[in-house]
């Protein structure tokens, strides 16, 4: 199964991603509710960072944003297995991301409930689409209105919602 699945009722889902292309690094993500509605999205451009740092920052920004809007139950998904394993304590990623992941763990400890899991890129399409936008930004940018999201991201989200409305898993 490679389609996005909505979170449990009354939970939210954070899909985050990072990318490095042509010396431009960016991280971003999307937070959706249990109905698949986008409640927040964010992107940021990171210069002179490793891909592991970018992925870690994308997760950290998502958790900070979720915290700022009062989300307490969160399913976290990303396609960076090393970041997810390091946050879960099953691996180490090195000193360049230690402080980022320490802050991630602190924010996760403030949640009432969370799950964290690796997904393949196909299940992380909306998060991945945000990174392309992030490479064009000069700083961190957040959206609370889904109508203002980049067109490519809106198309992906609408496709996922249509799949859900046809009673198929997203």
How would DSSP label each residue in 141-157?
Answer: EEES-GGGS-HHHHHHH
CA distance 170 to 67: 25
Nearest of 54, 27, 60, 22 to residue 43 by alpha carbon: 27
Q: Mean pLDDT check: name the lowest of 35-49, 59-73, 101-115.
A: 35-49
Residue 7 falls inside a structural domain: no
Tell me, what CATH number does 141's domain have? 3.30.420.10
Average pLDDT over residues 109-130: 78
Residue 6 falls inside a structural domain: no
Q: What is the tally of structural domains in the chain?
A: 1
Domain that holds residue 139: 12-165
Residue 3 falls inside a structural domain: no
Average pLDDT over residues 107-128: 81
Residue 34 falls inside a structural domain: yes
Phi, psi of 84 (to 5 degrees): -65, -40
Residue 131 falls inside a structural domain: yes
Decide if pLDDT at 125 tops 70.
Answer: no
């Amino acid at each position: 199964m490679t389609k996005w699945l909505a979170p449990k009722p009354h939970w939210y889902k954070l899909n985050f991603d990072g990318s490095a292309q042509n010396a431009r690094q960016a991280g971003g993500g999307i937070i959706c509710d249990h109905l698949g509605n986008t409640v927040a999205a964010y992107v940021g451009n990171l210069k002179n960072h490793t891909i592991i740092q970018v992925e870690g920052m994308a997760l950290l920004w998502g958790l900070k944003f979720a915290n700022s809007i009062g989300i307490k139950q969160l399913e976290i998904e990303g396609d960076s297995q090393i970041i997810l394993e390091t946050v879960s304590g099953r691996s180490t990623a090195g000193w360049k991301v230690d402080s980022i992941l320490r802050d991630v763990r602190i924010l996760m400890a403030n949640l009432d409930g969370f799950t964290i899991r690796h997904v393949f890129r196909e299940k992380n399409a909306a998060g991945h689409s945000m990174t392309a936008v992030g490479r064009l930004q000069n700083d961190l940018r957040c959206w609370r209105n889904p109508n203002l999201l980049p067109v490519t991201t809106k198309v992906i989200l609408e496709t996922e919602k249509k799949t859900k409305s046809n009673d198929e898993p997203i």
